[in-house]
Chains A and B, each alone.
Chain A
Amino acid sequence: MPVIPIAGSERFGQSEAPLDPDESFGDLALHRVDAQAIAGVDALTYEVIRHRLVAVTDDMGEAIKRMSGSVVVTDCNDFGAAIMDELGETVQVGLYNMQLGSSLDMAGRWTLRNRSVSPGIHPGDQFLLNDPWIGGGLHQNDVTVLAPLFYQGQLFCWTGAVAHQVDLGGVSPGSWSVDGRDVFWESVPIPPVTIVERGRLRADTEDMYLRRSRVPKLVGLDLRAKIGANNVAHERLTTLIDKYGPDTVKAVMKRMMDDAETRLRAKLRMLPEGEWSAVAHQDGGRADDRQVHKIVVRMTKRSDRLHFDFTGTDPQVEGIINCTLAGLRGGILPILLTMLCPDIPWAPGGIYRCVDITSEPGTINNCTFPAGIGKASVNSAWATQNAVSETVAEMLATHPELSRSATSVCSGTWDLTLLAGVDQRGGGFATMLCDAMAGGLGAKVDGDGVDTGGVNCIPMGRTADVEINEFSFPMLYLWRREEVDSGGPGRYRGGVGGSSCFIPYDSPAQGVHLVVSANGKALPQASGLAGGYPAATQWDVLIRDSSVRRRLAEGVIPSRIEDLGGHTDTVPPHLETDLGADDVYFTHWQGGGGLGDPLLREPEAVARDVALGKVSPQAAERVYGVRLADQAGSDADAEETERLRHHLRQERARLT
């Protein structure tokens, strides 16, 4: 059935343009400062308050972690926190999931425009939303709680907390419906609703929200964690305002955004004028889709501005991989922050002023309602990030100093493994495994990428300990480890990714439900730079009727797929199935892209990689042109390596 246009849905879509500073919102009084106040803050006061605001977002993160009961939050840091000014412009985004902080401004603006009259915005209110067409998160699992802070009767600023919720309903556990065709297969988005009214949690709104979840108690705890994080922030901010006065604190907020803008513009002026284009592919928009979908970007740098033009990107698909404008911005901001702004305040409200975006609504990374967006964050938003990463890194590569912030593409996608069922305590559970937080980082212009170093949109991302996962969920690991040849070959090698292999364990149901969704199987997604190869393809394997329990009873822990017996099948990009008692699941996530010609890598470095299990002897010879003195990789044979590399140069260029 074709996706049916929904009359009136355009009310929930919006541009990314800031609000008019003089716009009014019903009877709401906004606290504003003028340019004179902003200019009047002395440097010392500015730095003291700026650092305090940064610390407030850190405190928000700590508050979320301490109150949440979800491993995805407590152990893996899949959440975000930010402070916005009175108009919703983001003053400071925390170090956690930057994708989740990329469109809180859009959510704040929409709430101001659409909730200030009815039901009104009052002191002590907080708003809940998970509508990515409005902003906040990137897919429905990213639930935002926005909280306006009032001071002396005026709306002073907003804080926002977003976290990944492990299940909000929809056809499939975890809300990742791999057969989904449109948003109605998924958790239906919630536009901003009052969840806390004048300081009191609204029971009706909470019930409406939690009723949809398969794990309402856990999601309810996360809800309180986000409300609590906003409360912590408001307490800290109020103390700060009491001490320095509202005009001074607000002036610092505005100056932080101005400072970020000024410094980014100055950095851009140091770079050459030009255009850089890239493409990112995703194989399969839903289960049984054999198409490859592309996102194209042409980044133009003129003077002190960047223009990202996504013209040529494929139309939105009947599937789950589309993302909204919020997702597109979530693909841009993390790259700007980590590559262009490591030494600049992370004040997106100022950074966005240096950026123009051209994108056609109805495309895969700027989709219109009711396109399916259940996997937006880790599909089209992530793929956008990959393409943007290439263009920004290539631009930076032209500068002798700034090039040191550039990397090849990091971990090309999120390897979604979702488990659900009955846990070892007899309760229902659903969770997303976050082992793929240990993705490989892209290679740098002067060094290898960090092995299992993370994902670049979540600087504070972590994997839960194996023991925590086994304690929390009915599963038993056979291994979790770095994987050979998973980093993109290059003069500087991409960081390796890893794999996990586990069985269902100790569930009264004798098995678990499994949802798999990970692209990059037909073609790799973490591209290299300057000739560097992409990282390995995603690889997931399901082993049915294995001999693993017999092997374990014999005191043997299998360490290779070949040792597991049974029937082995390579898993497609999207699959929903059950894991039985004798089934084993192996999932291998991606590394980072390489940089430079692998035939220029120091032979000793290749030998060391082989010895450490980062590169196979086969790849050492066929890709790096290094002949090892022995298979253990202890030494490279210099004479044979020279001969082999000469031969490979001719062969790969088709000159033999």
Chain B
Amino acid sequence: MDLDLNLTVGPGGCVDCRHCGAQVGTSTAAPLDKAVRTQRPPSEAGPGMHADPARFTDRPIVLRQVFCPNCLVLLHTEIVPADEPCYRQWSLR
């Protein structure tokens, strides 16, 4: 079963990259546990980030991204307060 444009459920229930076949997660209950995660300034998301967040809030804002560990295709992007955990998660039974 394909999970989205990038991920599919592989043999044994692991989550694999649709682009290179690498395992991204050990199971659909932990679908991205082998992925590469980075955190960068939000300005690196491109020119659509118009103003420095510090103009509006004292909390640091970051760009978080998640990649396939093999082909480095981008699996997840969010711009959030740095002091928050990643609330955007999913799991299948």
Indicate with 1 or 0, residue by residue over A290-314, a CB within 8 angstroms of chain B CB atoms: 1110101000000000000000100
How many B residues, CB 8 Å from partner? 48
Interface residues of B in 34-93 (CB under 8 A from A): 36, 38, 40, 42, 44-51, 53, 55-59, 61, 65-67, 71-81, 84, 87-93
B28 interfacial by beta-carbon distance below 8 Å: yes
**Which of A281, A489, A536, A653 lies in contact with B50, CB distance below 8 A?**
A536
Q: Is the CB of A622 within 8 A of B38?
A: no
Q: Is the CB of A530 within 8 A of B4?
A: yes
Bound Cα distance A96, B49 (Å): 32
Measured between C-beta atoms, what is the minimum distance from B51 to chain A in Å? 5
Q: Is the CB of B65 within 8 A of A652?
A: yes
Q: Is the CB of A272 within 8 A of B80?
A: no
How many A residues, CB 8 Å from partner? 66
A283 interfacial by beta-carbon distance below 8 Å: yes
Main secondary structure of the interface of A (DSSP, over half): loop
**Which of B48, B71, B72, B81 lies in contact with A535, CB distance below 8 A?**
B48
Stretch at the interface among A46-54, A138-146, A169-177, A594-602: A594-602
Bound Cα distance A290, B36 (Å): 32
Measured between C-beta atoms, what is the minimum distance from A211 to chain B in Å? 38
Q: Is the CB of A278 within 8 A of B57?
A: no
Bound Cα distance A485, B76 (Å): 19
Q: Is the CB of B38 within 8 A of A522?
A: no
Select from chain B the residue with minimum beta-carbon distance to A483: B48
Indicate with 1 or 0, residue by residue over A276-291, a CB within 8 angstroms of chain B CB atoms: 1111010110000011
Given the contacts A485-B47, A533-B77, A523 and B6 also touching, CB distance less than 8 Å = no
A655 interfacial by beta-carbon distance below 8 Å: yes
Known contacts A290-B58, A398-B1, A523-B80; can you find 17 more A-B pairs with CB under 8 A? A272-B92, A276-B90, A279-B84, A291-B57, A486-B48, A522-B57, A524-B45, A524-B48, A531-B65, A531-B75, A533-B46, A534-B45, A570-B51, A572-B55, A597-B75, A616-B47, A619-B47
Residues of chain B whose beta carbon lies under 8 Å from any beta carbon of chain A? 1-6, 28, 36, 38, 40, 42, 44-51, 53, 55-59, 61, 65-67, 71-81, 84, 87-93
Residues of chain A whose beta carbon lies under 8 Å from any beta carbon of chain B? 272-279, 281, 283-284, 290-292, 294, 296, 312, 390, 394, 397-398, 400, 445, 485-486, 488-489, 491, 521-524, 527-539, 570, 572-573, 588, 595-600, 616, 618-619, 622-623, 649-650, 652-655
